[in-house]
Amino acid sequence: MGGYFFRQVWQNLNQSRWINAITLGTITLSFLILGLFLVIFLNAKGLMEDWGSRIRVTAYLSDSLSAEQVSHLRQKILHFEEVRDVRYRSKDQALKTLQESLKGRQGLLRGLPRNPLPASMEIQLQPEHRNSIGVQGLVAKLKGAPEIEELQFGSEWVERFSAFMILLQVLGMGLSGLLLLATIFVICNTIRLNIFARQQEIEIMRYVGATGLFIRTPFYIEGALQGFLGASLALTMLFFFFQLFLTKVYEPLEEMLGIFPLHFLTWEQAAAMALGGVALGLFATQVSVGRYLRV
Amino acid sequence: MIEMVHVSKAYDLSPSALLDISLKIERGKFVYLTGPSGAGKTTLLKLLYVAERPTEGEIQVNGFEVLKLKPREIPRLRQTLGVVFQDLKLLPRRTALENVAFALEVLKMERKKVLEKAFQALRLVELERKGNCFPGQLSSGEQQRVAIARAIVNEPSLLLADEPTGNINAEAAEGILRLFDEINLRGTTLVVATHNEALPSMLPKERIILDRGRLVYSSLPKPPQEFL
């Protein structure tokens, strides 16, 4: 039974080799571009998250605060929805940190009549608030608090990068959407041509008692197979190009660019892409079969 | 086996392709359906294998009430009958054996059994030695026999043949009739549509005559006027 279907599929593929090769090529190209955008997007997103986690608001405190007031202020800040964590740094800790960062040049600090550094609170934001709106919202709540002398924050660069990510996402989705539409059209057309090529056979099948599902099944297998092969081929090529980029372009420039590891798709993402190919093939077949195959 | 009650069929270009046909063909009969070209023979056969639906009337074939059949149920009826088409409908890129086997493959039968039965059917039509030939390599009479082998390979209880001797000489036609007789003797009901008036005299059997869509003669017992 299953053997019959695969024989039919093989026969279809063989009968119109060029059309099927062009179809496979189109699916592969579409998925290659889609995969490329996905790899760029996911890596950029990783970079964004990494940078975003470094967004902090630092509140420099007045010297006159008692331990109780500091504790009260910390609790108050922790209750803001934008805040994930608050780390208090006393005047002494601030000085110690400065001394450590001035390795070998501690002499600069000698002779100071008193510790000039203020105590501070380093406020870490919740992931969803690591943008300029989140930062501005928190700053608005902290401004005017008598315990705080000065606030330090900066998020414009994150905002710009975030806008670039949105642009990349829209561009990627738009282009991939168009390519997938073109792919559906090409698969539809191939299946349609195969239906026409087998018109006589299909007519006889109907008259000798084949069920509609039996007649349609080889076309579904063909569509799913083309989608799967196209997506898998694209993944293989993408992996090859990725490795090539890593060794020939990225690694030589790594020292200049800093350490930011690039990642390929996870196996779950790759499997989802291959399954996406199957779904696309099945969908396109359904469109063609529904329109051109009357059983 | 076959019952038609007040059956009519109209097409846009032929409003009276069939007019008020009532007939009953019992199991095991061999019936000629004759009449000139355009009399409605092919239309009547098409109604029996549900390639067409009647405009009016009721039809029962092998226990199936045709009008009540849903599209997905039609294959079940077709699996109980064999059809020899006027244009044979042989697949040119398949061998004789593959053409015959094709009818069984769609019935989801095992490949080994399919080939075994297809070979038996070819033997019955005396073409077992030409199983590997493509239709284009066979004579008209041999092609006709391949089409018959394909129609009987699933051992149908009813065989419908549309002009089965249309393109062959008298000698080959007689051979085909002998073959039909043999198939009939095995218990299969036969309805053979032909415009060739000589056939019924070569092998006399029951006869129905159509003319311009009307039943003008039947040697069969009078049918009931409605289903029981």
Supply the CATH number for residue B216's domain. 3.40.50.300
Tokens representing A125?
């934001």
Asked whether A84 and A152 are in contact (CB, 8 A), the reply is no
Closest CA to A167 of A41, A288, A284, A25: A41
Instruction: Domain count for chain A, please give it.
Output: 2
What is the per-residue pLDDT for A155? 61
Residues B5 and B92 in one domain: no
Query: CB neighbours (10 Å) of residue B63?
Result: 9
SS3 B60: strand
Cα A6 to the chain's mean position, in Å?
A: 37
Rounded Cα gap, residues B147 and B96, in angstroms: 9
Tell me whether residues B107 and A209 touch, CB distance under 8 A.
yes
When pLDDT is cut at 50, 70 and 90, the band that residue A170 belongs to is: confident
Last residue within a domain, chosen from A154, A188, A212 = A154
What is the per-residue pLDDT for A117? 86
Residues B167 and B206 in one domain: yes
Identity of the residue in A3, A200, A208 whose CB atom sits nearest the CB atom of B106: A208
Of the spans A112-126, A142-156, A189-203, B185-199, which averages the highest pLDDT?
A: B185-199
Tell me whether residues A214 and B72 touch, CB distance under 8 A.
no
Domain harbouring A130, CATH code? 3.30.70.3040
Give the mean model confidence (pLDDT) for residues B41-46. Answer: 95
Chain A residues closer than 8 Å to B107 by CB: 208-210
Chain B residues closer than 8 Å to A210 by CB: 75, 106-107
Instruction: List, as own/partner pairs, every contact residues B69-73 make where C-beta atoms lie below 8 angstroms and the sequence separation is at least 24, other chains included.
Output: B71/A212, B72/A211, B72/A212
Of residues B48 and A66, more confidently modeled? B48
- The yes-or-no verdict on residue B28 having pLDDT over 80 is yes
Of residues B167 and B224, more confidently modeled? B167
- The yes-or-no verdict on residue A154 having pLDDT over 80 is no
DSSP B224: P
Residues A163 and A24 in one domain: yes
B160 phi, psi to nearest 5 deg: -110, 125
Instruction: Domain count for chain B, please give it.
Output: 2
What is A97-163 written as a DSSP string?
Answer: HHHHHTTT-GGGGTT-SS--PPPEEEEEEPGGG-SHHHHHHHHHHHTT-TTEEEEE---HHHHHHHH
Full domain range(s) for residue B216: 1-80+156-228
Tell me whether residues A205 and B106 touch, CB distance under 8 A.
yes
Residues B116 and B217 in one domain: no
Give the mean model confidence (pLDDT) for residues B50-72. Answer: 92
Last residue within a domain, chosen from B121, B136, B155 = B155
Chain B residues closer than 8 Å to A212 by CB: 71-72, 75
What is the per-residue pLDDT for B226? 56
Identity of the residue in B75, B111, B150 whose CB atom sits nearest the CB atom of A210: B75
Of residues A207 and B228, more confidently modeled? A207
Residues A121 and A95 in one domain: yes
Residues B207 and B164 in one domain: yes
Rounded Cα gap, residues A30 and A67, in angstroms: 63
Rounded Cα gap, residues A33 and A35, in angstroms: 5
Residues B141 and B33 in one domain: no
Residues A180 and A42 in one domain: yes
Rounded Cα gap, residues A133 and A155, in angstroms: 9
Residues B143 and B165 in one domain: no
Chain A residues closer than 8 Å to B91 by CB: 200-201, 204
Residues A239 and A178 in one domain: yes
Full domain range(s) for residue A249: 2-50+159-292
Tell me whether residues A208 and B72 touch, CB distance under 8 A.
no
Last residue within a domain, chosen from B136, B155, B174 = B155
Tell me whether residues A211 and B102 touch, CB distance under 8 A.
no
Residues B60 and B114 in one domain: no
Chain A residues closer than 8 Å to B146 by CB: none
The A residues from 156 to 215 touching B (CB cutoff 8 Å) are 200-201, 203-212, 214-215
Mean pLDDT of chain A: 85
Cα A49 to the chain's mean position, in Å?
A: 11
Q: Which of A101-110, A238-247, B49-58 bottoms out in mean pLDDT, i.e. has the lowest?
A: A101-110
Query: How far is it between the farthest Cα atoms of chain B?
Result: 50
Residues B117 and B68 in one domain: no
Mean pLDDT of chain B: 90
Rounded Cα gap, residues A84 and A125, in angstroms: 5
Chain A residues closer than 8 Å to B108 by CB: 1, 4, 214
Residues A43 and A173 in one domain: yes
What is the per-residue pLDDT for A157? 66
Indicate the burial class of A177 (C-beta count within 10 angstroms; 0-12, 13-18, 19 or more): exposed
Last residue within a domain, chosen from A113, A132, A154 = A154
Residues B75 and B59 in one domain: yes
Identity of the residue in A1, A212, A215 whose CB atom sits nearest the CB atom of B72: A212
When pLDDT is cut at 50, 70 and 90, the band that residue A271 belongs to is: very high
What ipTM does the predicted assembly reach?
0.84
Q: Which of A237-246, A256-265, B16-25 bottoms out in mean pLDDT, i.e. has the lowest?
A: A256-265
Mutate to test the interface with B, among A208, A213, A295 (most CBs of B within 10 A): A208
What is the per-residue pLDDT for B54? 94
What is the per-residue pLDDT for B61? 95
Residues A89 and A119 in one domain: yes
What is the per-residue pLDDT for A283? 93
Does the pTM of the predicted model rise above 0.90? no
What is the per-residue pLDDT for B228? 43
When pLDDT is cut at 50, 70 and 90, the band that residue B29 belongs to is: very high
Identity of the residue in A1, A3, A208 whose CB atom sits nearest the CB atom of B78: A208
SS3 A56: strand
Identity of the residue in B83, B85, B91 whose CB atom sits nearest the CB atom of A201: B91
Q: Which of A16-20, B129-133, B134-138, B178-182 bottoms out in mean pLDDT, i.e. has the lowest?
A: A16-20
Last residue within a domain, chosen from A97, A123, A154 = A154
Residues B63 and B163 in one domain: yes
Tell me whether residues A207 and B83 touch, CB distance under 8 A.
yes
Tell me whether residues B106 and A210 touch, CB distance under 8 A.
yes
Residues A191 and A263 in one domain: yes
Residues A46 and A73 in one domain: no
Residues A172 and A225 in one domain: yes
Q: Determine contact: A44 vs chain B, CB below 8 A.
A: no
Residues A218 and A258 in one domain: yes
Residues A283 and A197 in one domain: yes
Percent of chain B with pLDDT over 90: 67
Residues B165 and B92 in one domain: no
Identity of the residue in A3, A207, A208 whose CB atom sits nearest the CB atom of B111: A3
Last residue within a domain, chosen from B102, B137, B155 = B155
Q: Determine contact: A18 vs chain B, CB below 8 A.
A: no
Tell me whether residues A4 and B75 touch, CB distance under 8 A.
no
DSSP A247: I
Residues A7 and A88 in one domain: no
When pLDDT is cut at 50, 70 and 90, the band that residue B98 belongs to is: very high
Residues B89 and B22 in one domain: no
